[in-house]
């Protein structure tokens, strides 16, 4: 039976999750140089249109209708055929359309996360083609395997848990971002010249917009205005807040002073870390996740990336890929089935040494990494058959705003960039 309160709650949460994509555009746009702001923000904005169209035509059906081998759905719901105002198989208190709308916003922001790794050098045409292919080869299968009917990583196989998208959203996009940036190669002058963040207030505001939307992202995944939603809301808030402080402490110890960019990045890392376990772990455990996720992501960004030399421009892998892995493992340590019965076992620590869930979490993370790596390699191979992946050296020097879009974010600015 349709519940108007639950329906209203989920629709509001869907709108909050939508707002995360403009927030990401601000966050990423502030981090790049002046000459690439338009292109970087466009990389998120165009996905608002593309992802919605693909979701209605194919994505929702492939992700959530039927089941083929536990890996992908079928096309029973092509173009929302049969998706209406009555409840669907995933909730008996909200319309199928409301669930579809909520999940559509996840399919929007996930590919947008990848664009942070390729900022400043990927052809826009190649980006569009890649994102279409990636949605079909990586996102839709991952959504089905984790959340779909009898999905391989969920109820139809490993019985791992992922409350709001640690595997589906963050690890898949973060690992794909790493693979794609390595294929693209480094930006011109990387590690030889300074890539100054051009607008720190924009970065901070974008991060805060992400936090605002993330409450819908995590709490809305309860699919009802109930105690579980309240629990997910609070674990999200506590973990993000703790991660901010944790990042500031680590940054001060390592470089002498805390920074606004650092605090903003720590906030996002905390949000990523809590996403898979927001509706499974106790609130005290969310504090622990916030404490540990920031130094791990900080180490990956400030030490490992420099050591290995890959050019993950805006740290999509360092924040989302690594943070998602930390969160998935933490869920395997701290989950309680008494909080959410979707977890068939308690975590390794909360269950007194019960290993089932922790092992399932590890295996699900490994499968997600495998799908992301193979899927990204296939997507880039096909894209390269159609168009070059990267702009020319001259176009990169001019900046992608002018070379790809014939626009300038700051037309009155005439100084050096």
Domain contains 410: no
pTM over cut 0.75: yes
Give the per-residue pLDDT at 407: 95
Cα 254 to Cα 124, 295, 314, 317, 320: the distances in Å are 37, 10, 20, 21, 22
Q: What are phi and psi of 215, to 5 degrees?
A: -65, -35
What is the rounded distance in angstroms from the CA atom of residue 342 to the CA atom of residue 335?
A: 10
> What residues contact 57, with CB distance under 8 A and at least 6 apart?
78, 79
Q: For residue 193, with 0-12 CB atoms within 10 Å meaning exposed, 13-18 middle and 19 or more buried, which class applies?
A: exposed
Q: What are phi and psi of 287, to 5 degrees?
A: -65, -45
- Report, in this order, helix, strand and coil percent for the chain, each rounded to 5: 70, 5, 30
Domain contains 271: yes
Domain contains 262: yes
What is the rounded distance in angstroms from the CA atom of residue 344 to the CA atom of residue 160?
A: 9
Q: Give strand ranges (E) for 32-162.
A: 87-88, 91-95
Q: Evaluate whether 126 touches 184 at the Cβ level (below 8 Å).
A: no
Cα 139 to Cα 111, 131, 132, 167, 178: the distances in Å are 8, 10, 10, 10, 16
Cα 154 to Cα 86, 145, 161, 262: the distances in Å are 25, 6, 7, 35
Any idea which residue has 């960019």 for tokens? Answer: 261
The C-alpha angle with vertex 8 and arms to 66 and 320, in degrees rounded to 5, equals 65
CA end-to-end distance (rounded Å), the chain: 59
Domain contains 414: no
Which letter does DSSP use for residue 394 in this model?
H
State the total domains in the chain.
1
What is the rounded distance in angstroms from the CA atom of residue 320 to the CA atom of residue 339?
A: 25
Q: Which residues of the chain register pLDDT less than 50?
A: none
CATH label of the domain that carries residue 241 = 1.10.3430.10
* Digit-coded pLDDT (tens) for 35-57: 999 999 999 999 999 999 999 99
Query: Which residues constitute the domain of residue 290?
Result: 4-85+92-405
What is the rounded distance in angstroms from the CA atom of residue 291 to the CA atom of residue 286?
A: 9
Domain contains 141: yes
What is the rounded distance in angstroms from the CA atom of residue 305 to the CA atom of residue 67?
A: 39
Domain contains 412: no
Domain contains 413: no
Q: Evaluate whether 116 touches 207 at the Cβ level (below 8 Å).
A: no
Domain contains 417: no
Report helix, strand or coil for 192: coil
């Amino acid at each position: 039976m349709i519940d108007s309160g639950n329906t209203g709650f989920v629709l509001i949460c869907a709108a909050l999750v939508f707002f995360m994509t403009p927030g990401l555009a601000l966050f990423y746009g502030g981090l790049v140089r002046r000459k690439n702001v338009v292109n970087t923000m466009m990389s998120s904005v165009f996905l608002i249109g593309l992802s919605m169209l693909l979701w209605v035509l194919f994505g929702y059906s492939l992700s959530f209708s039927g089941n083929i081998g536990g890996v992908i759905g079928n096309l029973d719901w092509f173009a929302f055929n049969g998706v209406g105002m009555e409840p669907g198989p995933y909730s008996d208190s909200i319309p199928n359309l409301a669930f579809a709308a909520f999940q559509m916003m996840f399919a929007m922001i996930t590919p947008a996360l990848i664009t942070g790794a390729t900022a400043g050098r990927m052809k826009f045409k190649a980006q569009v083609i890649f994102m279409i292919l990636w949605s079909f080869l990586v996102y839709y299968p991952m959504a089905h395997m984790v959340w779909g009917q009898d999905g391989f990583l969920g109820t139809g196989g490993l019985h791992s848990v992922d409350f709001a998208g640690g595997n589906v959203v963050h690890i898949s996009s973060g690992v794909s971002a790493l693979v794609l940036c390595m294929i693209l190669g480094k930006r011109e002058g990387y590690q030889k010249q300074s890539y100054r963040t051009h607008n720190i207030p924009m970065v901070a505001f974008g991060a805060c917009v992400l936090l605002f939307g993330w409450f819908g992202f995590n709490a809305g995944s309860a699919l009802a205005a109930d105690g579980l939603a309240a629990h997910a809301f609070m674990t999200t808030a506590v973990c993000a807040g703790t991660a901010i402080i944790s990042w500031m402490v680590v940054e001060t110890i390592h470089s002498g002073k805390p920074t606004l960019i650092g605090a903003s990045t720590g906030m996002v890392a905390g949000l990523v870390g809590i996403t898979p376990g927001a509706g499974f772990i106790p609130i005290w455990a969310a504090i622990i996740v916030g404490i540990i996720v920031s130094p791990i992501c900080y180490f990956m960004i400030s030490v490992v990336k420099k050591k290995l030399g890959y050019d993950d421009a805006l740290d999509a892998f360092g924040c989302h890929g690594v943070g998602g892995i930390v969160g998935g493992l933490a869920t395997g340590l701290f989950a309680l089935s008494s909080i959410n019965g979707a977890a068939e076992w308690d975590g390794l620590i909360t269950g007194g040494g019960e290993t089932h869930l922790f092992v399932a979490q590890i295996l699900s993370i490994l499968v997600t990494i495998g799908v992301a790596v193979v899927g990204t390699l296939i997507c880039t191979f096909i894209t390269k058959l159609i168009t070059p992946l990267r702009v020319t050296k001259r176009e990169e020097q001019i900046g992608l705003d002018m070379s790809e879009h014939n626009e300038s974010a700051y037309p009155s600015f005439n100084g050096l960039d």
